[in-house]
């Protein structure tokens, strides 16, 4: 028997016979040498021997040894007329050949012959080989041929099946090489094919093609629905061989349900009705008693059920089905099969973001918390964490955060960092009480300090600095937490920073007197890393300002050899400079330099960004995104408290040292009395700015720009007015914009009776970090007369071209001499992105269709904020029109809401923008949502418009 | 899409390795080892799905596996596949092997490696499910056997 010969060959090298790795390698090398000599030998090998040796090579490769010969022999086998030889040749090539270009040509040649042979067996082998290798060269050679085979009338079913998957593979690797054409409509009709194997393969192909070309394959929806309906309603014996453990054609059903998830609910009511019927039938069947006790039966049945539920969630349009789906998943949450519990948790996660079922999902909170505590399998526990995160809202945040924290104590190391991020985000997002927020973060550090990333502790500091109602509590709490004999270094950082800023708030209590605070921090000092020690040194110098009575103690510490002569340059420099500062500076100067940190500008949480990065953008943002949408509709208005984006700025920009701080820092203006300070700090521009006890370079210690007048947000919605006025000078504006161009007239009025000399106003585009190499805005102007008489006015014209979307408004620098002194004024020119808005009118239907199309999470930006002005409908309307967008009446179902649409014109692109503003009179708040096709545009427009109400 | 199909025994010795995405040989071996260690430390009777290892894919990928006596069958798939569907597919593959080899065991996979590949090719092609109907798969394999026999006969 020949087969047993192959067996014997492999048996020879089988690991079972080899006692050690060395013995195995020795044995294999001997075998390889033998095969090589056989291939190289004079005697031509017969087909059988070739087959035997190729088989052996495959086995040796499987064991992890490189095979560097035999390829040519395998290629030769392809052109054999004998099936078995051809087959082993193709096998060798699809397992072992990578894109070795010389060989690929020969292989392609053999494939070409086999495809043309009209022998279905040979064609099958060739198609398999293309699909399994799937290289670009193969796509180039066969992307034209395979579709023809697929739709030819005389192609056998098994070849059609292979051709469909082969084409799918080529499309995946090289979509550009697969031309759409006549064949596409004929492929869609394969959904009606008699042979279910062909339908299954075709459904896979169409699903992939439809994701990229939805229009082209739209007709597949009704065909898929009717096919599905025939399967679902058939008796289990109808489909004979495609019935698997009493479930009719489960794989095909799953594939069809996947295909339907590429499209919105069918518009044709008949198709839609039929689909709803199918989904109901599938849900009904889940309640029937099982037809078999075998696990295969329940697997197959539930595979279809879970896919049906995915489709229901995807459509998100039938409340009745959604609630049934939720109940079904609820049953599975307690199922004895771990797999089903896992899948139920996973599906529920997406269900939690549907407006119709969010509340229903929340009812399962106890079961999910229980899963977190009792599941033996980390995969399942992880899904439970995800679900708790997804179902969290203001009503259950405290409970969920508490449970996640207690789980964190025993959680697997692999998922700790993620849980830390999630807890930090939820605590911030749903904090009504900021004391609770501070407690939660300190607990995080206590329980899992090693997993608390910088973003998390930067954030807590930001929030404490920006909210004066929590500062005293924070100081007290960190002081208490620092009492623990062993506390995490991250706690020392947070504690150091907060006590440095707000230690005075608890200094009245003798138990936390200045000296006690200092001694407590200093007791941790020697155990900390260099960056933390640097931070603590900054805290000490802040103490010098806050508590003059501890100044001598601190000076002694700074003077010590371990500081002044520290081997680390940063520490040494801080010690030298702080010591000097504390010695030479007067109390007033100390108070200015070491003033409390100003509030941080408001931006999106960088923790969220980190989680997105960690989990991949889709998982997190989808959730956030859809959840926001849900609450819009459920509550019919903004959420009651301004806990999230509006009040809790992010550290990202400033803390990560992106240089050009976008908002003007609110520190005191440059002081001229800094002569002394120049000796201490070389950078005079920043000398008088408040000093933060931050440690790393990227920590905001000094504002990067001298102060610039804010240049009024009042110009966002209007084009004319007074931009700036002081005792000497008044600047007025008149401007007009059309598409991506604009013209601005600037009027400079001399309010005094004395001449201005050397009067030079220069408008300059300000650069964000990304624009260093690129201009977003072109400004052209001519110089004005350098003398401006007393009481006179001069005019300057600025031509503006918007090249691409931008954030930073340009700055107008004005220098002139008045009397004997040199005057310098900088104001922001109110040229904002919305100036290049062109309004667009559209119907309600169009608006919501486009709104849906822009559902990608990056395209939407939302802000919830407190009204700063009286909430007057007419004024709001005028502002939206002034902002530049069209105001669309009778579009939003809620007449109290405002929606607008328009196009931002820049030289390089046009960006369609949709906006929706929802006032909540009771809470005196607004929710503003911007959707555009460009993230930066959404972001900027949202910032601009939010300031207006 | 199925990214890879790995079969190894309880000691981590690979018995069938099929990649549908190209990886260099040493990475293939690393993936087999990493997957083995991920799967090995899991008890039986817990869930059959786990997040993919670091080498294949990332968070969009899952390992779906079954443990039969001495062998682990692991499919590495992306999110376009139904987890339970793949679990059943493993079962179909194993049942088909069982039919073709009459009570399949680990040694069959070693000594009939070519045949195992051919059976797999009838089930999965280029990472996509080709055929799920066991009778159809077995019929194809039997047709192959007949061809082989007739050619063998001619060869004498």
- Contact flag A339-B132 (C-beta cutoff 8 Å): no
- Contact flag B46-A380 (C-beta cutoff 8 Å): yes
Q: What percent of chain A has pLDDT over 70?
A: 85
How buried is residue A270: exposed, middle or buried, by Cβ count under 10 Å (0-12/13-18/19+)? Answer: exposed
pLDDT for A443 beyond 50? yes
How buried is residue A42: exposed, middle or buried, by Cβ count under 10 Å (0-12/13-18/19+)? Answer: exposed
The pLDDT, as a whole number, for residue A721 is 83
A&B contacts, CB < 8 Å: 177
The pLDDT, as a whole number, for residue A15 is 46
Instruction: Kindly report, residue by residue over A469-520, the tens digit of the pLDDT.
Output: 889 999 999 999 999 888 899 999 999 999 999 999 998 888 999 999 999 9
- Contact flag A166-B58 (C-beta cutoff 8 Å): no
**What is the mean pLDDT of the segment spanning A51-66?**
83
DSSP H helix total and E strand total for chain B: 5, 7
Please provide the average confidence, as pLDDT, over all residues in chain A. Answer: 81
The region of weakest confidence among A183-197, A689-703, B122-136 is: A689-703
Please provide the average confidence, as pLDDT, over all residues in chain B. Answer: 86
The pLDDT, as a whole number, for residue A101 is 61
- Contact flag A131-B126 (C-beta cutoff 8 Å): yes
- Contact flag B50-A87 (C-beta cutoff 8 Å): no
How buried is residue A687: exposed, middle or buried, by Cβ count under 10 Å (0-12/13-18/19+)? Answer: buried
ipTM of model: 0.92
Instruction: Kindly report, residue by residue over A899-938, the tens digit of the pLDDT.
Output: 999 988 888 888 888 999 988 888 888 999 999 888 888 8
The pLDDT, as a whole number, for residue A365 is 93
- Contact flag A91-B22 (C-beta cutoff 8 Å): no
Contact at 8 Å (CB) between A466 and A649? Answer: yes
- Ramachandran sector of residue A281 (left: φ over 0; alpha: ψ -120 to 50; beta: rest): alpha
The pLDDT, as a whole number, for residue B121 is 92
Q: What are phi and psi of A390, to 5 degrees?
A: -70, -35
- Six-digit token pair at A802? 């918007």
Q: How confident is the model at residue B58 (pLDDT cuts 50, 70, 90)?
A: low
How buried is residue A336: exposed, middle or buried, by Cβ count under 10 Å (0-12/13-18/19+)? Answer: exposed
Cα radius of gyration (chain A): 36
pLDDT for A705 beyond 60? no
Q: How far is CA B61 from CA A317, B67, B76, in A?
A: 29, 20, 7
The pLDDT, as a whole number, for residue A661 is 34
| Sole residue written with tokens 């080709």 | B130
The region of weakest confidence among A385-399, A436-450, A553-567, A615-629 is: A615-629
The region of weakest confidence among A70-79, A580-589, A612-621, B12-21 is: A612-621
- Contact flag B133-A242 (C-beta cutoff 8 Å): yes
Test the B interface: residue of A89, A379, A380 with most B CBs within 10 Å: A379
Rounded Cα distance, B62 and B52, in Å: 5
The shortest C-alpha distance from B17 to chain A (Å) reads 7
Q: What are phi and psi of A764, to 5 degrees?
A: -130, 135
Chain A residues lying within 8 Å of B43, measured CB to CB:
376
Q: How confident is the model at residue A13 (pLDDT cuts 50, 70, 90)?
A: low
Helix (H, G, I), strand (E, B) or coil at A247: strand
Q: Are strands B49-51 and B124-125 parallel, antiparallel or unpaired?
A: unpaired
Chain A residues lying within 8 Å of B133, measured CB to CB:
196-197, 241-242
The shortest C-alpha distance from B147 to chain A (Å) reads 7
Whether B30 contacts chain A with CB within 8 A: no
pLDDT for A594 beyond 90? no
Instruction: Kindly report, residue by residue over A301-345, the tens digit of the pLDDT.
Output: 999 999 999 999 999 888 889 989 999 999 999 998 899 999 999
* B 59-118 → A contacts, CB under 8 A: 59-60, 80, 82-85, 87-89, 91-92, 110-114, 117-118
* B 110-149 → A contacts, CB under 8 A: 110-114, 117-118, 121, 125-136, 140, 143-144, 147-148
- Six-digit token pair at A419? 């849980």
Q: What is the DSSP string of A870-891?
A: ---HHHHHHHHHHHTSEEETT-
- Contact flag A99-B22 (C-beta cutoff 8 Å): yes
Contact at 8 Å (CB) between B7 and B72? Answer: yes
Nearest chain A residue (CA) to B154: A82
pLDDT for A174 beyond 80? yes
**What is the mean pLDDT of the segment spanning A868-876?**
84
Please choose, from the candidates A86, A2, A91, the residue with its C-alpha nearest in 3D space to the C-alpha of residue A49: A2
Chain B residues lying within 8 Å of A3, measured CB to CB:
112
**What is the mean pLDDT of the segment spanning A142-171?**
92
Rounded Cα distance, A424 and B141, in Å: 57
**What is the mean pLDDT of the segment spanning A402-431?**
88
- Contact flag A91-B48 (C-beta cutoff 8 Å): no
The shortest C-alpha distance from A712 to chain B (Å) reads 46
Which residue has better confidence, A161 or A651? A161
Rounded Cα distance, B96 and B134, in Å: 6
Instruction: Kindly report, residue by residue over B31-53, the tens digit of the pLDDT.
Output: 899 899 988 888 877 889 987 66
- Contact flag B13-A616 (C-beta cutoff 8 Å): no
SS (H, E, C) A795-828: EEEEEEEECCCCCCCCEEEEEEEECCEEEEEEEE
The shortest C-alpha distance from B98 to chain A (Å) reads 16
How buried is residue A129: exposed, middle or buried, by Cβ count under 10 Å (0-12/13-18/19+)? Answer: buried
Chain B residues lying within 8 Å of A254, measured CB to CB:
82, 85
pTM over 0.95, yes/no = no
Instruction: Kindly report, residue by residue over A776-791, the tens digit of the pLDDT.
Output: 888 888 878 888 888 8
pLDDT for A253 beyond 90? yes
Taking the CA atoms of A351, A355, A358 and A360 in sequence, report the sign of the dihedral they define.
negative
Test the A interface: residue of B85, B119, B144 with most A CBs within 10 Å: B85
Annotated binding-site residues of A read: 38, 48, 52-56
Nearest chain B residue (CA) to A129: B126
């Amino acid at each position: 028997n020949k087969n047993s010969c192959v067996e014997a060959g492999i048996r020879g090298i089988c690991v079972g016979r080899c006692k050690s790795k060395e013995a195995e390698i020795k044995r294999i090398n001997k075998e390889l040498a033998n095969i090589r000599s056989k291939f190289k030998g004079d005697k031509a090998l017969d087909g059988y021997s070739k087959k035997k040796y190729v088989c052996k090579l495959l086995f040796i490769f499987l064991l992890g040894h490189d095979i560097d010969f035999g390829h040519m022999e395998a290629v030769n086998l392809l052109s054999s007329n004998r099936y078995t030889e051809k087959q082993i040749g193709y096998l060798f090539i699809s397992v072992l050949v990578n894109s070795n270009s010389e060989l690929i040509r020969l292989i392609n040649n053999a494939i070409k012959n086999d495809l043309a042979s009209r022998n279905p067996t040979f064609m099958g082998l060739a198609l398999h080989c293309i699909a399994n290798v799937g290289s670009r060269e193969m796509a180039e050679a066969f992307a034209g041929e395979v579709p023809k085979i697929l739709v030819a009338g005389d192609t056998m079913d098994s070849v059609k099946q292979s051709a469909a998957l082969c084409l799918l593979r080529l499309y995946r690797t090289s979509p550009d090489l697969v031309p759409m054409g006549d064949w596409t409509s004929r492929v869609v009709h394969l959904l009606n094919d008699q042979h279910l194997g062909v339908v299954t393969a075709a459904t896979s192909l169409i699903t992939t093609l439809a994701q990229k070309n939805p229009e082209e394959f739209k007709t597949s929806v009704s065909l898929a629905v009717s096919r599905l309906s025939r399967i679902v309603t058939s008796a289990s014996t109808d489909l004979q061989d495609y019935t698997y453990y009493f479930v009719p054609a489960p794989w095909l059903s799953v594939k069809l349900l996947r295909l339907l998830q590429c499209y919105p609910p069918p518009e044709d009511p008949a198709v839609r009705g039929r689909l709803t019927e199918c989904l109901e039938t599938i849900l009904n069947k889940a309640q029937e008693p099982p037809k078999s006790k075998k696990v295969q039966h329940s697997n197959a049945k539930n595979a279809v059920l879970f896919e049906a539920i995915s489709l229901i969630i995807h459509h998100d349009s039938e409340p009745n089905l959604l609630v049934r789906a939720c109940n079904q998943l609820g049953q599975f949450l307690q199922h004895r099969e771990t797999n089903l519990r896992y899948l139920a948790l996973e599906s529920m996660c997406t269900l939690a973001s549907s407006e119709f079922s969010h509340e229903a999902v929340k009812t399962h909170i106890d079961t999910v918390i229980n899963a977190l505590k009792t599941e033996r399998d980390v995969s399942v526990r992880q899904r439970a964490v995800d679900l708790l995160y997804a179902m969290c809202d203001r009503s259950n945040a405290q409970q969920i955060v508490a449970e996640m924290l207690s789980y964190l104590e025993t959680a697997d190391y692999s998922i700790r960092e993620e849980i830390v991020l999630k807890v930090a985000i939820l605590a911030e997002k749903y904090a009504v009480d900021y004391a609770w927020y501070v407690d939660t973060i300190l607990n995080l550090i206590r329980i899992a300090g090693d997993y608390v990333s910088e973003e998390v502790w930067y954030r807590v500091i930001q929030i404490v600095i920006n909210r004066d109602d929590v500062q005293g509590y924070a100081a007290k709490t960190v002081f208490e937490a620092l009492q623990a004999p062993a506390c995490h270094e991250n706690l020392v950082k947070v504690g150091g920073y907060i006590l440095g800023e707000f230690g005075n708030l608890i200094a009245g209590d003798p138990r936390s007197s200045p000296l006690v605070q200092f001694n407590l921090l200093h007791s941790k000092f020697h155990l900390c890393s260099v960056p933390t020690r640097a931070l603590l040194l900054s805290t000490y110098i802040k103490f010098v300002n806050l508590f003059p009575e501890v100044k001598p103690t601190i000076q002694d510490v700074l003077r010590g050899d371990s500081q002044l002569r520290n081997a680390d340059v940063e520490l040494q420099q801080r010690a030298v400079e702080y010591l000097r500062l504390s010695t030479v500076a007067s109390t007033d100067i100390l108070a200015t330099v070491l003033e409390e940190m100003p509030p941080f500008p408001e931006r999106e949480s960088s923790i969220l960004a980190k989680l997105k990065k960690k989990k991949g953008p889709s998982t997190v943002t989808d959730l956030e995104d859809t959840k926001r949408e849900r609450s819009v509709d459920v509550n019919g208005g903004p959420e009651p408290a301004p806990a999230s984006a509006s009040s809790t700025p992010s550290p990202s920009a400033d803390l990560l040292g992106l240089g050009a701080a976008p908002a003007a820092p609110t520190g005191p203006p440059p002081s001229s009395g800094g002569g002394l300070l120049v000796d201490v700090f070389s950078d005079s521009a920043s000398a008088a700015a408040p000093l933060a006890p931050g440690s790393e370079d990227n920590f905001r210690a000094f504002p990067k720009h001298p102060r610039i007048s804010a240049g009024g947000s009042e110009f966002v919605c209007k084009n004319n007015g007074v931009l700036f006025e002081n005792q000497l000078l008044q600047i007025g504006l008149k401007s007009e914009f059309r598409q991506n161009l604009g013209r601005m007239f600037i009027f400079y009025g001399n309010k005094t009776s004395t001449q201005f000399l050397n009067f030079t106003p220069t408008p300059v585009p300000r650069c964000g970090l990304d624009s260093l190499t690129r201009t977003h805005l072109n400004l052209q102007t001519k110089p004005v007369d350098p003398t401006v008489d007393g009481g006179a006015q001069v005019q300057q014209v600025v031509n503006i071209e918007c090249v691409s979307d931008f954030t930073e408004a340009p700055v107008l620098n004005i220098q002139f001499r008045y009397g004997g002194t040199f005057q310098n004024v900088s104001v922001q020119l109110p040229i904002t992105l919305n100036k290049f808005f062109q309004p667009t009118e559209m119907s309600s239907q169009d608006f919501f269709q486009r709104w849906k199309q822009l559902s990608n999470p990056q395209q939407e930006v939302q802000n919830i904020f407190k009204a700063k002005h009286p909430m007057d409908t007419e004024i709001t309307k005028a502002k939206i029109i002034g902002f530049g967008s069209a105001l669309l009446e009778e579009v939003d179902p809620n007449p109290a809401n405002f929606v607008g649409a328009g196009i931002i014109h820049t030289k390089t692109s046009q960006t369609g923008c949709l906006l929706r503003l929802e006032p909540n009179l009771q809470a005196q708040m607004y929710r503003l949502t911007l959707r555009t096709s460009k993230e930066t545009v959404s972001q900027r427009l949202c910032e601009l418009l939010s300031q207006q109400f | 899409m199925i990214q890879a199909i790995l079969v190894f025994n309880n000691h981590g010795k690979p018995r069938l390795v099929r990649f549908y995405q190209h990886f260099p040989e040493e990475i293939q071996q690393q993936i087999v080892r990493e997957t083995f260690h991920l799967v090995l430390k899991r008890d039986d009777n817990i869930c059959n799905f786990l997040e993919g290892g670091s080498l294949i894919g990332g968070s969009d990928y899952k390992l779906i596996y079954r443990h039969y006596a001495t062998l682990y069958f692991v499919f590495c798939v992306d999110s376009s596949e139904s987890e339970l569907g793949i679990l059943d597919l493993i079962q179909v593959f194993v049942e088909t092997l069982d039919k073709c080899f009459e009570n399949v065991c680990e040694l069959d996979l070693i000594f009939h490696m070519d045949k195992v590949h051919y059976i797999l090719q009838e089930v999965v092609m280029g990472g996509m499910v080709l055929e799920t109907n066991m009778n159809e798969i077995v019929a194809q394999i039997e047709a192959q056997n007949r061809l082989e026999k007739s050619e063998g006969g001619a060869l004498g």
